[in-house]
Chain A
């Protein structure tokens, strides 16, 4: 009986993979056709051969890596600051219901607003270099983490807190022994979203104004109409974003068990 089911499963997964492979080839073929048809300006839809060549010449070129390092530094610094302050504010709101009642609606409705709009202000405050990008990445990462932490705080069983106060836990002990263990799951799950959105915003900020970084590369290749190189940077960026997203997903899965 068990054998039968697994054979059926295997057959289905083979079918699914077949559909996926065919889809990839159809899309790729359509793209190549469009590229060679002359229907659109060739510069916009460069042949995938050219794009692949550009990808290889890019990753073997040492001039590419300062851009990667710059973007990753900005993103990780901003993401780190945003996550830590999000956890802090979330716990603060959780322990002070009065404060939470006043400020929570603001946080909730500011959370989905377009953060990129803060960029001009941040450029004034932190300069056109890394500072403004770190700041905008931090602001973007802050909201999902703060909301998830606060929601997690609301779901901590009151019994745990009673036990902790019976044992005369200090506030620091409470945070380390009661709050954080209960909050790990929601925090890690929200970090996935926080990383994705703050990475996008960092790149957008670089596109708008910077002299180094992947976003800067994208817009520079666009302006010089080196479209195959622009595609190459975009593809590498997408691959990185998806790998990071997958790893964060794996992390939050492993925390769940």
Chain B
């Protein structure tokens, strides 16, 4: 609450500084002119449409990461030797600058949303594989022994023992995956001038619509803050159950 007040205060100081020409309005526009641009973004720049495009890309890429990553993580756990062989590599891939490969994918998949989805998927799938594998690996062997001695089938074992025990780690994977797909989607949109919110910011900059650009950047930040807040709340609620 007080945080919002501080930001308002900072905006007021900035407004005064720009109005009195202490800061050039060509580099930092007055907050009031940025505010005035917000309805324009909604009405003329198709902000909602771009927002939906970005969210759609994030959704598809995360869903693909989950659907493909979880079974891969399970396979690595099931065939332990492969898990051990690849675990270090996965960590290295996770920290590698994969997003830099986008020119290659641009040629392979064309200048379109498909490229953004594929790139975001590639970045989002590693944390899911890694955390599924680590989560399953850390299930105490006693649980599995007890389950098999009660004659549980493989399916039952998975549903009643493995899944619940590995769930917190799975959630960590999903959260990381969502964060990484989001960052990547917006970054690539911005870099190649295709798609949603990232494209809008780059486009406004190219047209030198400075107040509009600041408003769009603010919108992206607010959207991402709400996005991460929602993920946090979901995780808290699910972990409590």
Interface set of A (CB-CB < 8 Å, partner B): 12, 15-16, 19-20, 23, 40-41, 43-44, 102-103, 105-106, 109-110, 112-114, 116-121, 123-125, 196, 199-200, 203-204, 207-208, 215, 218-219, 222, 227, 230-231, 234, 237-238, 241-242, 245
Listed residue (A40, A109, A117, A124) with the most chain B CB atoms within 10 angstroms of its CB: A117
Residue on B nearest A104 in the bound complex, by CB: B3
Q: Take A112-B228, A241-B97 as given contacts and tell me if A118 and B217 are in contact as well, using a CB distance cutoff of 8 Å.
A: yes
3 smallest beta-carbon distances between A and B, as pairs: A120-B205, A222-B103, A114-B186
Shortest CB-to-CB span from B208 to chain A, Å, is 10
B213: chain A residues within 8 A (beta carbon): 120-121
Shortest CB-to-CB span from A155 to chain B, Å, is 21
Select which of B3, B84, B104, B198 is within 8 A of A103 by beta carbon.
B3
Q: Take A106-B3, A109-B229, A203-B97 as given contacts and tell me if A208 and B190 are in contact as well, using a CB distance cutoff of 8 Å.
A: yes
Pair A43/B190 contact, Cβ less than 8 Å: no
Shortest CB-to-CB span from B219 to chain A, Å, is 10
Select which of A110, A116, A117, A241 is within 8 A of B225 by beta carbon.
A110
Q: Take A102-B6, A200-B99, A234-B100 as given contacts and tell me if A116 and B107 are in contact as well, using a CB distance cutoff of 8 Å.
A: no
A105: chain B residues within 8 A (beta carbon): 3
Could you mark each residue 1-39 of chain B with 1 if its beta carbon is under 8 Å from any beta carbon of chain A, else 0?
011001000000000000000000011100000000000
Does any Cβ of A come within 8 Å of B56's Cβ?
no
Interface set of B (CB-CB < 8 Å, partner A): 2-3, 6, 26-28, 81-82, 84-86, 89, 92, 95-97, 99-101, 103-104, 106-108, 179, 182-183, 186-187, 190-191, 198, 201-202, 204-205, 210, 213-214, 217, 220-221, 224-225, 228-229
B186: chain A residues within 8 A (beta carbon): 114, 116-117
Q: Take A113-B221, A120-B213 as given contacts and tell me if A19 and B85 are in contact as well, using a CB distance cutoff of 8 Å.
A: yes
Shortest CB-to-CB span from A205 to chain B, Å, is 10
Is chain A's interface secondary structure helix, strand, loop, or mixed overall?
helix
Pair A125/B28 contact, Cβ less than 8 Å: yes
Pair B84/A114 contact, Cβ less than 8 Å: no
B86: chain A residues within 8 A (beta carbon): 23
Q: Take A114-B183, A114-B186, A114-B187 as given contacts and tell me if A238 and B96 are in contact as well, using a CB distance cutoff of 8 Å.
A: yes
B214: chain A residues within 8 A (beta carbon): 121
Residue on B nearest A109 in the bound complex, by CB: B225
Pair A116/B103 contact, Cβ less than 8 Å: no
Q: Take A102-B6, A117-B221, A120-B202 as given contacts and tell me if A112 and B183 are in contact as well, using a CB distance cutoff of 8 Å.
A: yes
Shortest CB-to-CB span from B109 to chain A, Å, is 10
Select which of A19, A103, A113, A208 is within 8 A of B81 by beta carbon.
A19
Q: Take A16-B85, A40-B108, A117-B186 as given contacts and tell me if A125 and B99 are in contact as well, using a CB distance cutoff of 8 Å.
A: no
Residue on B nearest A242 in the bound complex, by CB: B92
Q: How far is the CA of A208 from the CA of B3 in the complex (A)?
A: 33
Pair B201/A117 contact, Cβ less than 8 Å: yes
A sample of 5 more A-B contacts (CB under 8 A), given A102-B2, A114-B220, A237-B100, is: A103-B3, A109-B225, A117-B198, A120-B205, A125-B27
Pair B97/A238 contact, Cβ less than 8 Å: yes
Pair B103/A237 contact, Cβ less than 8 Å: no
B89: chain A residues within 8 A (beta carbon): 20
Shortest CB-to-CB span from B54 to chain A, Å, is 10
A112: chain B residues within 8 A (beta carbon): 179, 182-183, 224, 228
Shortest CB-to-CB span from A69 to chain B, Å, is 19
Q: How far is the CA of A238 from the CA of B97 in the complex (A)?
A: 7
Q: Take A16-B84, A23-B85, A105-B3 as given contacts and tell me if A237 and B97 are in contact as well, using a CB distance cutoff of 8 Å.
A: yes
Listed residue (A43, A110, A199) with the most chain B CB atoms within 10 angstroms of its CB: A110
